[in-house]
Each structure stands twice: as C-alpha cells, then as structure tokens.
Amino acid sequence: MKTSSTRSQNTFADWPLWLVLLLAAAIRLSFLNAMELWWDEFVTLGRSLPAIPALLSGLMYQSPSAVSTDCSPPLHHLLVHAALQFGREGAIIRLPSVIFGCLSIACLMGLCKRMYGRRCAFAGGLFCALSLFHVYYSRDIRWYGVYYGCALTALYALYRAVTEDKTWQWWLFSLAGAASLYASYVAAPSLAGVGLFVAGIVVGRFARGERREAKRLLLRAIVAFGLIILLYAPWLPAQYYAYLSFHGNGRTNAFVLTEFMRNVRFFLEYFYPGRFNRLYLALPLAAVGYLFALRREGKPGAWMILAWGLPPIAAAYVVKTDFSVSPKYVMSGFYLLAFGLAFGAEAVARLLDKALVFAKPRLRATACWGGVLALILTAAASNFRYTTFYQGKMTTDKGPLRQVALARNDINAVLYDNEHNFAFVGNWYLGDVFPQASGRFGRAYKRYYLLSVGHLSPAWARTLFKTQSFDVLVGGLVNRAPIPVIPDKAGQFRYADDFRDFKLFHDAFATDNVTATLGGGGLVPADMTRPGTILYAFSLADAPNPTGARVGLTAQCMKRNAFFPDASATVLAGSDPDHLTPIGRLDALSPPGPPKKSAGWHGTYTRTASYEIPARVLDGPIVYVAVTVSDGTREGQVKTTEVAIEIDCPGPPPDPTTVPRRQWRTILANLAPGQRPAGGAAVSPGRLAAFSRDPDVFPPDTASGLGGPDDRQAFLAAHPGISPVHVIRDAAGAPLLELYDPWLADPNLHLAGDARMRVSLGEPPLGYAAPGNMRPTLATFAGTPLPLSCGLPSQATAVYARQGRSSIIARELFDAGHFAPGDFYAMRDVRILPDAAALTCMGKKDCQATYRLTAPYPMKRLVVTSYPSVFGDAARRNRCSLSVSANGRPFETVFTLRSQGSGTWENSGNHPFVDAVPLPQGTTDVRVRLGMVTDGSQWYSGPRLPMTFEITLDTSGMPPMPRATGELVNATPGGLPVALRFPDTPPSTFDRLRPGLTVTPWMRPFFR
C-alpha cells in the first residue's frame, strides 16, 4: 500500500509531465480569439444555438437548418450551447475543444507512463503538445477535441481495468465510452475494436487455464460494455438514421500509398512543410516503437492501442457514402503516430542507456532524456510556425462583412440572396448592427443591403461594392399593401408571386420570419427553426360583391434517404388579420403523393393545390390571406415556389387610372412621416423624392411632395445615374410616377463654393461624417464650425462625434477603378499595376510611397491592415517595409517582410498583416510610408482585400450640436466643394470584425 509520502514523491517526480500539460494548455489558449471561423465551425454553431430540445431533435433527424447537415452526436453541441450562454467570443466557444484536447494529452501520457514510464509519457505528450495539427483540432469548434478527450479517457481506463481490475476503472471506462459515442459516430468502430481485443484476452486466459480470471474479466467486460450500450440507447435511433442518411452507393476510398504518406506528413507538419521532410524520421521511429512495444508486451498495451485506432481508419476506407471521407480526418491515425513516436523514443533512450553503461547514472539519465527531447522536437515542431498559425491567415468573410458594417447609413435591414447558408454567417457577425429579415417587417419604407454570394445584378438594386466572396447591393422597399382588387375584362382578379425577387416585401401587409430565395425562387423562413408567415391584404373597395376566391400553392418537395420531410405550407384566410382560419395545408405526402413511397427512395418532385376562400370572408372590405411555411424537424424540404390568389369579381372594370392612383395613395400612407416627399427650401436627409411622368394622371402636388416633369429633370441633373426605387405604371407598362431615394445613391449633402442650404434633421445630430479631401475643408451648421478634413486621402472617411468612437478610416485601393495618385503625400520611383491592384517599384530601383493623414482632433491609435508580398529571390534582397511618423518625427519601422529565397511569391498578397501603432499624446499628423526593394516587392490593395488605415480620435473636446434645424454653409476658403452627412447612430469602428490577429508593439518581436 502506498503511503501519502510515496504518492507525493511520485507526483513531484511527474513534474515533466505536468510541465508538458501546462505547455499544451498555454499553446492552445494563446490568441484563441484571433482564429477565424470557417464553414464547418458555423455548421456546429448553427446546430448548437437552438434550445436543447430543438438541438437534440435537429441532430437526431437532421432537421433543416440555416447551415447544413451535421453528422455528429450531441455532446459537443451541448457543450457549445452551454458556452454560448456566456457570449459569442471565439475564446468562449472554443473552450470545450481546448479542455478536451488537453485531456486527450493527459490520458495519452497516463497510458504511456503505465506502460513504459515517465520518459515515454513525456515523449508522447510533448509531441501532441507541440503538434500544430493537434493544436488546430484542439481549438476547432468541431467534435474532434471533445471526442478524442473522451475516447482516450476510455482507453486509459480500460487499460487500467484490464491490468488492475478495479471497480472504479470499469465505471470510468463505461462513462467515458458512452461519452465518446455521444461525441462522434467514429467511436462505434473503436469500441468494437477494443471489445474484440478484450474478448481475445478472455479467450487467451481460458486457453492458459486461468479460468477464474477469465470469467471475472468476461463478466466485468459484459457489464461495462452493456452499460455503455444502455447509456447510449436513447441515441441509437439517431445513429441508425445517420447511417440511412449518409450511406450511399458511391465508391469506397482506395488505399494509395502516396496519399497515406501525405496524410502522415500532414500530421507532422500541418500546412507548414519545411525543407526537411519529417517523414524520414517519424515513420522509422514509430515503426521501431511499435516493434519495441509489441515484442516486449507483458501487458496488453500496444495491441489494445492498435485495436482502438485501426478500426475507424478501416471504416473510412470500407464504408460507402455519397461523399468523400478522408481517413486523415478520422484522426485516430494521428494518435497511433503519437504512441508510436513515444514508444520509439523510449526504445532509442533504452539503447542509449545501454551504450552508456559505464557512465555515471546521472549522466546516463540526462543523455537519455536529452535524446528523447531532441527526437520529439525534430519530429513535432511543425517548423515552429506558431506565430504564422496564430495570425489566422486564412481568407474569411469577416473582413468584408466589416466593410458592410462601416458603410451603414440609415439602413433598415440586411437581406441575402440565399437565406440557408451565407445568411447565417452574415447574421452571426452583423446581427447586432442591422435588423434582420427574421423579425417582423412593417409597411414603412425600408432601405436594405443585399448580400449576394451569387453575384446577382438585379435591376432593382444598385451594386455598392464587391468583396472576395459576395457583392453588396443597396436598394429600397416601398410597400403598397393593401393591394386593390381590380378585375380584368373577364371579371377576375389574379395576383401571383414566384418569390424570385423582393416583391413579397412590396406587397405583404405584414411579414414575420419570411424571405425569398432569389434566383431559385421560393418562400422560406429566414430563421429555419421556426415557421414564417406572410400576410396579404386585398382591398375590395373597387370590386364589391365578389362571387368566389381561391388560393393556389405550388411547392417543390425533396426527400432524402431516410424519411419523408414533415415540412409544410399552410394557408389561412379571414376578414380580420388577427383571427384567420386555416383553409388548406400542403406537405410532402399531399395528394397525389410522392412518385414513390419506399423508405429508400430519394428525389425531388412538385406538388400543387388550390383552396377555396370561404364566402363569409368576402363580405368584408378587405380579404386577408396568410401563408405559413415551416421547414419541419426532418431533413428534406417542402419549398413554396408560387402563391396565386384569384378573386371572381363580376361587373364592368373600373377606370384604368384607378389602380395607379390607389397605389400612390397607399404608398404615401405607408411611408413614415420622415420619409414622405416634401417640398420647400429645407433639405431633410432621409426623405424620398416623387415625380409625375404623366401630369394628366398625377398632377404635381406640393402638399404630397409630388413634383412635375421639370422638377424631375432638375433632380436627375443633380443626381446623375440615379435609378428610381419604385415606379407606378399603367396597364401597358408605361411609367406614370417615379419614386427616388437620393440617400441610397449618395448619403452626403453637397455644397459647392460658398453655397448654403437649410437642413432639417428632426432631432439634434450625434455628429457628422465627411469624405476625405487632401485640402482643408470646413462647414458650419447653425453657426457651429464643422472641420471636415485637415488633409486626408480622397478614399478616407472621417467620423466625428461626442458619443461612440470617432475615427478616420482610409481604404486605399490600387485597382484601375479606384486608384487616386493625388492621395500620395510623397512618392519615389513607384508604379501601379492596375490589373493586379498592386503597388511596386520601377524595375530594380528601391522605392517608397507616403500617405499623410491629419485631423482636427488628437489621434490616439493607428491600425494598418496591409497585404504585402515579396518574390523569394535567391539573394533574399526583396522586401516590403511599413514605417510610421507622428507629428513630423523620424519614421519608425513597424515591420519588414523579407524574402525567404523560396523562388515563389511569398505571402501572395492574400493574407492580412494587421498592426496597431499607439500614437503620442497630442498627435494630429500621421505619415505612413510603404517601402519596397525592386519590383519583386508589392503591396496589394483592391476592392476585395483593401489596405486600410484606421485612426482612433479623441473628440472629447468637440463642441455640442444642440440644433436639429439650421443653415449648413460651406466655409472652406477658396470655394472648394464639400460633402458631409449626419449619421443617425453613434459611430463605431467594429474592431471585433477586423480580420486576423492585431499585432501590438509587445507582440511585434514574435510576429514580425
């Protein structure tokens, strides 16, 4: 029996193992927030956000989701769900993966220690702790870290249970084994493998005549594995469903030796291969390790490890699926390599110990431990690219979405061309910046951004800017509900929508959680976890005594492998919007039913239905029709692709001008007071402008702000290139009235020379914003001076406010459409590559370009996001350098990117260098210098990846702006034109959306 003193001595002797564990935790916790989210992590987040019952149901039956299917059991999702209750920061939601990733290292070391001592445990633990492959998957918001933490705990417990046979060890194995099943379906073949291995031990003991020991082991193993099955039983239907869903008739993965070698090298070096291929060391060392362990087996360790690790890899090669499953991502291969290297390092250390038999014991011990350390460092270091790894240099949508947030100006909503994928990413980052379509939409005019991953170019929205993966379009939604019922010559009114544009927002009396799938067409819930409803209102003022009405639905149904979806579309009708009666329901099994009803059939088919509106509903002045769409709880879909409402109206059709006149009156009634067109001398930002194209139908009217044809021509001359947000047409399609939103095209107020205008803002402004100008510009509002620019690049925007975060943000672009040579304060021997959107030198000369940014208020901090690239010349001469000067002081180098002699373009200009530079107190003048050596050095900056200078300002001394109405005067000397706008929300720089790791001065020695 061990005394407390003996246990303390053993624990103290384990200090190298505790040090390895602390090192592993430190590496995995460092800069945890800087790592960008990628799509599979968003899948996990999308499946983890719902309430727990919906979360479990969604994973069990792969319910429709804004992300995609997720073939994982719920343990990791439940842990992420719990983490999300404390915030959405990356460091919080990655914490479960980090904890279980470190647990896997602890269990691996514990198992190695039990087999061959502390030195072997140190080797295996150090390899995992330093491996960037393991670091990545211990921080990834996926099941890997949690599963392998549970799986290795179970393996460790089983090894001790088989060799020591203590009750608590069997209990731990059962609990950890069940947890591993709830973490990943990969656990099933692993548990089956170790189960067969234990059965082999039982058979071996019977063969050796150890009947009592064999029966005891058999009984305990049956109880332990039975408990695992019992604990996992509630999830067995889900595992069977997952098998039905993902099993396919595709080909199995063929074993290819070269692919196997690439996978092992990926384990060793992750994405950072060096000149020395670590395979040449790691594979022989692991082979020696397993030969050493298998030949010396006195306890069932190495064989058990192989029985645990090989079955999942075999399953990845053997099981047929409809998609590719790389054995690399099963990851048990990585742990088999880790165990092999630990055993191999121990074997080498023992050989070294024998070779130094005549040396002093302390020297022999030091040499053996040093040899183990050298072997593992050589095999596991991944070229020590930790600083590159931490910077999160991967292209994501986070930075472009920050551009969307910075460009906001009285935008009421963000919409997407496909609500099922990219919308989740957009809402994750912009959910607290813009209202979402998943909320209730009223009938007031709404300005919106359309984020299109399909790069749509619809006529009804204007492209604001393009990013690497999506386009940003801007538009306005004018609502014209209730819709007047005007019968045609045949005495019938028909309304239809195929949901290929945003017509639903124009015509809906109200919407709740619905939107359209542009391009493909379809009415879908914006938040797929709950139903969405669109409510139509049809006015019968011009069609009294209708004789009948009906609603037609068309839906596209899709069935996957297992079950028919339970999604549906329900039609309701009534004369009161708050009390509607269901009149029909369309689902995947609606008559005449699917082409085939067998469980294994999968495919897509279309169903249509028509439902009569009760006659009593037609007695009121307005008919309300609602369509509620639900995506259900099982995979598959029933997507409503068309809604058609027909109303029979006998009698002669009304005057053809009735429809446009009623539409105009309805639109005016739906506009908010601050949105309605208004005449007069005062300019009111945010108001629309309306002009008659046919004075006979729409005479100019000052009271409603409706201008005439001459007013329209003057407006178009002042706003070149502007398009109407809504056009009222006659029956032949000719325009009768046009509605414009000048603030969509340009949110700024423009003053030429010493011009002045009277401005009414409704309430005192929070501050003001102005585009950059290389010359000082000044305006006054209600007598208050407004310094706009003391000298800024033309692609800069300055925002000044007493509330929020005042800043100057300059996006300097080098492409042909945006480059402004006048933005440089000074330049020498530089040239632009407009097709590549890059700045470089003229031939082999050294060159530089300098920007100057000045402000009327003190500058506190500069953050530069840049995209340098150098060609790896053999002489290693090429380099890019960034330097900063404050208030005319000497330039100080922030960083230098030097050639590594690779013979290729290095950094490739696709990954951001983000550097923060604190500025001395009282700084009002900052100069940024871009230095290059030869034309083998470039700074990239284009619309998709813009170089950005961000300066935070101290505007605490800014005078207040108490007046909401006053005269805006251009007070710039020399008559220079000015532009400015008054933001309606406190300014923000949205630092949380800045991509990559922001390198501060104390970090610079390590990262630059």
Question: Which residues, including other chains, have CB under 8 Å from residue 215's CB and lie 6 or more apart?
Answer: none
Give mean pLDDT, residues 535-559: 91
Average pLDDT of the chain? 88
Judge whether residue 145 has pLDDT over 80: yes
Side chain identity at 594, as an amino acid letter?
P
Interval 75-105: pLDDT, tens = 999 999 999 999 988 899 999 999 999 999 9
**Spacing of C-alpha 934 from chain mean position:** 38
Rounded Cα–Cα distance for residues 629 and 524 (Å): 7
pLDDT of residue 381: 65
pLDDT of residue 974: 80
DSSP-derived secondary structure letter, 247? B
pLDDT of residue 1: 47
pLDDT of residue 54: 86
Nearest in space to 436 (alpha carbons), one of 426, 444, 445: 426
Angle at 182 between CA 177 and CA 185, to 5 degrees: 90
pLDDT of residue 299: 66
H or E stretch covering 690: strand 689-692
> What's the residue count for the chain?
1008
Angle at 382 between CA 381 and CA 386, to 5 degrees: 90
Judge whether residue 850 has pLDDT over 70: yes
Predicted confidence band of residue 802 (pLDDT cuts 50, 70, 90): confident
pLDDT of residue 721: 83
What does the block give as tokens for 207?
A: 């063969």
Angle at 513 between CA 508 and CA 515, to 5 degrees: 60
CATH architecture of 479-648: Sandwich (2.60)
pLDDT of residue 12: 63
Dihedral (CA of 39, 40, 41, 47) sign:
positive
Give mean pLDDT, residues 530-555: 92
Give all strands (DSSP E) within 756-891, no chain letters: 756-760, 767-771, 777-781, 784-789, 796-801, 807-812, 826-828, 830-833, 838-841, 846-871, 879-886
- Residues pairing with 841 in the sheet: 830
What predicted TM-score, i.e. pTM, was given to this entire model?
Answer: 0.90
Judge whether residue 602 has pLDDT over 80: no
Give mean pLDDT, residues 560-573: 86
Judge whether residue 9 has pLDDT over 60: no
CB 848 within 8 A of CB 932: yes
Interval 669-728: pLDDT, tens = 999 888 889 765 566 788 899 999 999 999 998 888 899 999 899 888 888 888 899 999
pLDDT of residue 691: 94
Predicted confidence band of residue 380 (pLDDT cuts 50, 70, 90): confident
Q: pLDDT above 70 covers what percent of the chain?
A: 94
Interval 121-137: pLDDT, tens = 999 999 999 999 999 99
pLDDT of residue 946: 87
What does the block give as tokens for 1000?
A: 């501060």
Nearest in space to 855 (alpha carbons), one of 750, 772, 780, 914: 772
Instruction: Specify the 3-state DSSP secondary structure of 458.
Output: coil
Give mean pLDDT, residues 981-999: 85
Domain with CATH 2.60.120.260 in the chain: 479-648
